[in-house]
Amino acid sequence: EVQLVESGGALVKPGTSLRLSCQASGFTFNEAWMTWVRQAPGKGPEWVARISLHRDGGATDYAAPVKGRFTISRDDSKSTLYLQMNSLQTEDTAVYYCTTYLRGYLESWGHGTLVTVSP
Amino acid sequence: QSALTQPPSASGSPGQSVTISCTGTSSDIGGYNYVSWYQQHPGKVPKLIIYEVTKRPSGVPDRFSGSKSGNTASLTVSGLQAEDEADYYCSSYAGRSVVFGGGTKLAVL
């Protein structure tokens, strides 16, 4: 059974940094493209970032609102996905989900971790 | 404003069929056969119910079906059941990104 467990969410002030982690199990992590998706309170999901396989160069892509501030990375030896978030803004407040990714669809989702950015 | 446009609400009675539309552009829906749909019950994690326009993951009832014409995709729920009441989100591959719709709240009257 695929399991994705996010951690690292917290209440932080604007301008600070936070790193999210996603521990994966139940599938071959190093053969899976992965993404981060966020969902602000009362809003729909918003794609945040994507990372390809290590053997494909670990290419990354980002949504416009986070480009230059967020960095997605992976450690295949630990089956763990990361999201480094810098210069956090109040608009970044959301539940952050780790998901598998294939041809544009997100099959498996974690339960999410809440990030609250507030003065 | 979401990249893909969905009606904010839809409704139907038990046993009826309801279709939810999702309109994008030639850079997303119209350019690829990679449209997906997600169902989300209150307080729950989104669940994939349709991928690659028409395919259903294992375990998703065949009451759920998807289609696409040009820049518009559609999700049809046939034989509505009470448990189908939820928010539904469309999504599309868009090259180097993924875009979502704003969501449709489906009410089963």
What is residue A56's predicted lDDT score, i.e. its pLDDT? 87
Distance spanning both ends of chain A, measured CA to CA: 40
Optimal mutation site among B33, B54, B97, B105, interface A, most CBs of chain A within 10 A? B97
Q: What tokens appear for B73 in the block?
A: 């995709």
Q: Which chain A residue lies closest to B101 (C-alpha atoms)? A: A44
Q: Which chain B residue lies closest to A111 (C-alpha atoms)? A: B45
Residues of A in contact with B101 (CB under 8 A): 44
What is residue B2's predicted lDDT score, i.e. its pLDDT? 63
Question: A103 and B52: CB-CB below 8 Å?
Answer: yes
Distance from CA of A119 to the nearest CA of B (A): 25
Q: Among residues B26, B13, B27, B5, which one has the least CA distance to residue B90?
A: B5
What is residue B45's predicted lDDT score, i.e. its pLDDT? 98
- Tell me if B92 sits within 8 A of B21, measured CB to CB: no
Q: Among residues B19, B25, B34, which one has the least CA distance to residue B4?
A: B25
CA torsion angle B37 B6 A66 A29 (round to 10): 0
Asked if B64 has any chain A CB less than 8 Å from its own CB, the reply is: no
pLDDT tens for chain B, 109 residues: list them: 568 999 999 999 999 999 999 999 999 999 999 999 999 999 999 999 999 999 999 999 999 999 999 999 999 999 999 999 999 999 999 999 999 999 999 999 9
pLDDT tens per residue, range A9-67: 999 999 999 999 999 999 999 999 999 999 999 999 999 999 999 898 899 999 999 99
Q: Which chain A residue lies closest to B55 (C-alpha atoms)? A: A105
Optimal mutation site among A105, A107, A114, interface B, most CBs of chain B within 10 A? A105
What is residue B106's predicted lDDT score, i.e. its pLDDT? 98
Per the prediction, chain A carries an average pLDDT of 96
What is residue B3's predicted lDDT score, i.e. its pLDDT? 85
R_g of chain B, CA atoms, integer Å:
13
Q: Is A27 exposed, middle or buried (0-12, 13-18, 19+ CB in 10 A)?
A: middle
R_g of chain A, CA atoms, integer Å:
13
